[in-house]
Amino acid sequence: MSEIELQRIGTNFTGKTCFTHARAAVAPNGSAVMTTQPLRLSGSDIYYGLHELTSRDGGRNWSEIREVPNLARRPFPGGEGREIAMADATPLYHRATGRFLLTGASMLYCDDEFVPPPRPRHTVYSTMDPVTGSWSAYRTLDMPDDPEETFFAGAAGSAQCLELDNGELLIPFYTMTRKEACDPWHNSCRAAVMRCGFDGGTLRFLECGNFLTTPVPRGFCEPSITAYGGRYFLTLRNDEAGFVATGGDGLHYSDPVEWRFDDGEMLGNYNTQQHWITGGGRLFLVYTRRAGNNDHVFRHRAPLFIAEVDPERLRVIRSTERIAVPERGARLGNFGCCRLNDRESWVVASEWMQSPGPLGPENLQRCLDHGSDNSIFIARIRF
């Protein structure tokens, strides 16, 4: 890569909630959308309705952050006070239909706290017409009937998806059965890729590839996919280390291996997602890791690094590593990567204003003391 240009967007941080899950997508004409959503700082993964920022000039200038009514929390059957929210969402520009597609995961709350396990989880999606700028109400992706309830808690959360030349989509997801979801902290998610059709309005499940598993509690989750050199690559989050797998058809993958540098040392990423960038004829990984000077950041989730990947050895080339988004005390691990063309991609992240340790005013202050203020950053990676 030849250049990284950093853009900062302020969010008018209140100290009660912070914007999270900032991710973007861009159409060929420069029309861009970024989605993000507030999180309650006094809780854990308590999300509210999605907001958006839009741009008409390739992201140089952005609108104010505004709520999207069709992407708000809404009542959910099962009792008074129950609500469903769309979270872990990632937008994508779908070339075949000229629509923006937003995929994410359902979250169930009751009285502003999680519904007790077992909680069902589903892939939910919404579409946006760039002409009107209107998002559809989010819908649930229908999955196959399965007596073993394989997809009971299955969703494409924080997933980097891939559009094929025929307009179909490869969407990575992770799942648990109902039985496993009764004790999600001691059971392991399975990850896989599903092939879906999309006509601009409805997303349809077509088939699913092999499931990737590990006995480490919570297993593989938040997978992301890319294509490079005639092969497909899948990167996976795991509590102990990031993993990578490869395959020839986009659906079926080899046994995952831990991410390492090209000198054999462990990458140092753990319990945090990673995403892909392709550009300049090369393959890159964006990730967080233990860096020796970031112990004050929750799960070492900042800064965001980018480095070239050796696609044959499945190793990160240490000499190419650069910081894409700097560390200012807040975590950046829930981020997104967006490809414009072979010459430019974006890394988009918002400062998540929660630190290691018990939640409370002191927790927030640790982020503030290092300079973070819930800014949203766009790192333009040019090749």
Q: Please say whether the beta carbons of 27 and 93 come within 8 A.
A: yes
Domain that holds residue 233: 3-382
AA letter at 206: L
Residue 45: CATH number of its domain: 2.120.10.10
Nearest to 342 by CA among 381, 285, 287, 286: 381
Give the pLDDT score at 195.
98
Query: How does DSSP assign 298-336, residue by residue?
Result: GGG--SEEEEEEETTTTEE-GGG-EEEE--SSSB--S-E
Q: What was the pLDDT predicted at 80?
A: 87
Q: What is the pLDDT of residue 2?
A: 80
Q: What is the value of pTM for the model shown?
A: 0.97
| Number of domains present in the structure of the chain | 1
The pairing of beta strand 188-198 with beta strand 218-219: parallel
Cβ(292)–Cβ(322) below 8 Å: no
Whole-number Å distance between alpha carbons of 191 and 170: 13
Residue with the two structure tokens 């650069």: 322
Positions in the chain short of pLDDT 50: none
The reported pLDDT for the residue numbered 278 is: 98
**Cis amide prior to 75 (ω within 30 degrees):** no
Task: Give the tens place of pLDDT for each residue, 173-224.
Answer: 999 999 999 999 899 999 999 999 999 999 999 999 999 999 998 999 999 9
SS3 369: helix
Distance CA(191)–CA(223), nearest Å, equals 7
Q: What is the pLDDT of residues 310-324, one digit of tens each?
A: 999 999 999 999 999
